[in-house]
């Protein structure tokens, strides 16, 4: 009885070893087939994309500039059997064409072997869907840099400044304007909206650009405007929302 059980177990073990060996052979064949397909594709081939209904043209090498990313594998031959084209030869991608175009422009600008650092769109409300595109394609998310440009809507006037100007006091409501927080009121273009006199706000911004902080007692109001309005604005912007 024991001998028969040992025999059965040995047969099962031999079968598992054989299946494992077959799997390794098939795996090597698959890797070799992928390598051969990747050698066939032409990096200078024009690729026609249909992104959210908008047609875009680029070269294959632009889409494969970030090695090992999902985007690169879709167009370097690795996933050639998965990627399907429309009747006119275009590949459909269900994304916002403006945001994808923003990504494509940056891919075109990258040099070979250059560090890949993506810049988010100027509109803060577009940062989240743009980051989602990057995640879907296995691309690195943007770094928040001090010199990122931030566009604001102050009393109906567009005002542009740098992230470092707004974030001198990290836990202030002023710094919150440089984030993607849902607590920030925004206009239809996604710009943070501030209901202040633009002249008063610009006067504050000029002093912040000089290195002063939102909570500095040395901040001065504009000479020809209401001091009460200036200091009320300071109080509202300096208070943390946490």
- The residue behind tokens 């403006």 is 98
Q: What is the pLDDT of residue 209?
A: 94
Share of the chain above pLDDT 90, in %: 46
DSSP state of 89: S
Residue 164 pLDDT more than 90? Answer: yes
Phi-psi region of 178 (alpha: psi -120 to 50; beta: other; left: phi over 0): alpha
CA 209, 210, 211, 212 torsion-angle sign? negative
pLDDT, one tens digit per residue, over 32-53 is 555 544 446 788 899 999 999 9
Average pLDDT, the chain: 84
Q: What pairing do the DSSP bridges indicate for beta strands 91-93 and 193-194?
A: unpaired
Q: What is the pLDDT of residue 8?
A: 62
Other residues' Cβ atoms within 10 Å of the Cβ of residue 40: 8
- Residue ranges of the domains in the chain? 1-40, 46-136, 149-238
46-136 shares its CATH topology with 149-238: yes
CATH of domain 149-238: 3.30.710.10
Residue 71 pLDDT more than 60? Answer: yes
pLDDT, one tens digit per residue, over 187-223 is 887 889 999 999 999 999 999 999 999 989 889 999 8
Give the residue among 53, 164, 179, 56 at the shortest CA–CA distance from 127.
Answer: 179
What topology is assigned to 46-136 in CATH? Potassium Channel Kv1.1; Chain A (3.30.710)
Is residue 96 within 8 Å of residue 54, measured between CB atoms?
Answer: no
Q: For helices 97-109 and 127-136, give the axis angle rounded to 10 degrees.
A: 60
Give the residue among 151, 149, 102 at the shortest CA–CA distance from 130.
Answer: 102
Is residue 47 within 8 Å of residue 75, measured between CB atoms?
Answer: yes
| 16 CB burial (10 A radius; 0-12, 13-18, 19+) | exposed
Cα 67 to Cα 48: distance, rounded to the nearest angstrom:
21
């Amino acid at each position: 009885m024991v001998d028969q059980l040992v025999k059965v177990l040995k047969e099962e073990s031999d079968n598992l070893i054989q299946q494992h060996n077959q799997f390794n052979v098939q795996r090597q064949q698959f890797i070799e087939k992928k390598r051969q397909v990747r050698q066939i594709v032409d990096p200078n081939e024009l690729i026609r994309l249909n992104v959210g209904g908008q047609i875009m043209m680029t070269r294959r090498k632009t889409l494969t500039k970030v090695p090992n990313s999902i985007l690169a594998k879709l167009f370097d031959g690795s996933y050639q059997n998965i990627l399907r084209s429309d009747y006119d030869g275009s590949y459909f991608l269900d994304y916002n064409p403006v945001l994808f175009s923003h990504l494509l422009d940056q891919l075109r600008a990258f040099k070979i072997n250059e560090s890949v650092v993506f810049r988010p769109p100027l509109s803060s409300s577009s940062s989240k869907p743009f980051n989602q595109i990057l995640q879907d394609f296995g691309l690195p998310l943007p770094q928040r840099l001090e010199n990122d440009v931030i566009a604001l809507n102050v009393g109906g006037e567009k005002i542009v400044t740098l992230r470092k100007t707004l974030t001198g006091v990290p836990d202030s409501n002023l710094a919150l304007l440089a984030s993607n927080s849902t607590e920030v009121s925004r206009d239809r273009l996604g710009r943070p909206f501030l209901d202040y006199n633009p002249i008063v706000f610009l006067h504050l911004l000029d002093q912040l650009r000089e290195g002063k902080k939102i909570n500095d007692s040395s901040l001065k109001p504009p000479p020809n405007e209401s001091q009460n309005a200036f200091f009320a604005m300071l109080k509202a912007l300096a208070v943390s929302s946490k």
